[in-house]
Amino acid sequence: MNRRDFLARAGGIAAVGLGSGRGVGQLIDRPASDKKVAALVTTYHRYSHADNLVTRFMEGYSIVGESYPPPCRVASLYIEQTPDTDIGRPLARQWRIPLVKSIAEALTLGGNELAVDGVLLIAEHGNYPLTPKGQKLYPRRRFFEEVVKVFRASKRTVPVFNDKHLAYCWVDAKWMYDQNKELGFPMMAGSSVPVTRRRPALAPDVGIEWERALSVGYGSASYAEAFGYHPLEGLQVMTERRKGGETGVKAVHYLEGEEAWAAARDGKWDRALLDAALAKVPMRGKGKVEDEDASPIVYLIEYRDGLQAAVYLSPRHCQEFAFAGRAKGHAEPLACWYEMPRPQRDHFSFQARAVAQMMVTGKPTYPVERTLLTTGLVDALWESRLNGHRRIETPELVVKYQI
């Protein structure tokens, strides 16, 4: 059986005809681990983040044509919003996964205490209001609070993965991180960009001495929060390897349109690094970047140790993610493209595999502090945008960690 046939059969949205002799919910391959995970999602439609991750835990996944079994067993599924586009309910019925009415029930499997080995928290997509600042009020902290309540009541914890940034604001993100540190459970969060394939396979040594750095993403001002987060993680996965480790960010500055290009001419961000990063991307506009991207968005980031970095969001010229940096001892910039295969979306398979590794071993595959910092950067950059594109000091972002 394959997922495409089931979606087609389940009402034109989804999935697959069963082969002869196979019963409903019978997988071709057993889960690679008996670890049980609870999946908590805001909404579950095709190509949603719930689909990109939870479905891979249900059915398995492929990477460049090689198939892998489900990494763990999805023991329960909580879906907060179920519009007509929902595929979570038919998938749960197909794979005989209990659909539960609360987060507590998902974690306890209807009992009185924690009964799963891990938690997938995916509060992305869905019909939620905006803050006065225009940020989507995804209930990541609220979901997380319910998880922590069960942990405390059960006097036991399990690994937790939080999809994308920890929360829409720094205060909530820091609270979540502090709860994690107090209770001491394995935790990961973040984007699929840091774990996808890099072309070329750039993996700087720990201790590299970056002089300047830049990452590329895409999006317009309307999507600067949701899309701008990913290239921040693409930047951080490289800069965190620098000599001395991560020490945090001193200030940020949101620029747009001509002021972004003027900042490049003034040397506030390295224009040549943009060319180096774009040179690694196979599909991009054929015209001059300045002409095709008359209104780019640029984030200037001043790290506490003096490193100057930038994120470039392209509205038209490039719809990919890339990185370039100048490093001591290297005559030319080090650069790569973060490959996002379409339509197979293998980058989410790499992410599912990394998350499953934590669920099985109890050890995070990469540090949650990376996403704590990028969450704070998103919030601070939003403040810069709303306050006339002025430079914002970030004394709260003293986030220290080492790879």
294-339 residue pLDDT tens? 999 999 999 999 999 999 999 999 999 999 999 999 999 999 999 9
C-alpha 391/C-alpha 253 separation (Å) is: 4
CATH 3.40.50.720 location in the chain? 3-194
The whole-chain average pLDDT of the chain stands at 92
Residue 181 has pLDDT above 80, yes or no: yes
Confidence of residue 3 (pLDDT cuts 50, 70, 90): very low
Question: Contacts by 168-172 with C-beta closer than 8 Å and gap 24+?
Answer: 168/131, 168/135, 168/136, 168/137, 168/138, 168/140, 168/225, 168/379, 169/131, 169/135, 169/379, 170/375, 170/376, 170/379, 170/380, 170/396, 172/140, 172/141
* Cα pseudo-dihedral 354, 83, 100, 164, rounded to 10: 30
**Once rounded to an integer, what is the mean pLDDT over residues 29-37?**
94
With cut-offs at 50, 70 and 90, classify the pLDDT of residue 20: very low
Query: Which of 3.30.70, 3.40.50, 3.30.1370, 3.30.360 would CATH assign to domain 197-339+371-393?
Result: 3.30.360
Domain 3-194, classified CATH 3.40.50.720, yes or no: yes
Give span(s): CATH 3.30.360, the chain. Answer: 197-339+371-393
Flag whether pLDDT at 364 surpasses 80.
yes
Give the mean pLDDT of 248-261.
98
Q: Is the pTM for the entire model greater than 0.85?
A: yes
- Angstrom distance (rounded) from CA 373 to CA 386: 20
Of 235 and 224, more confident: 235
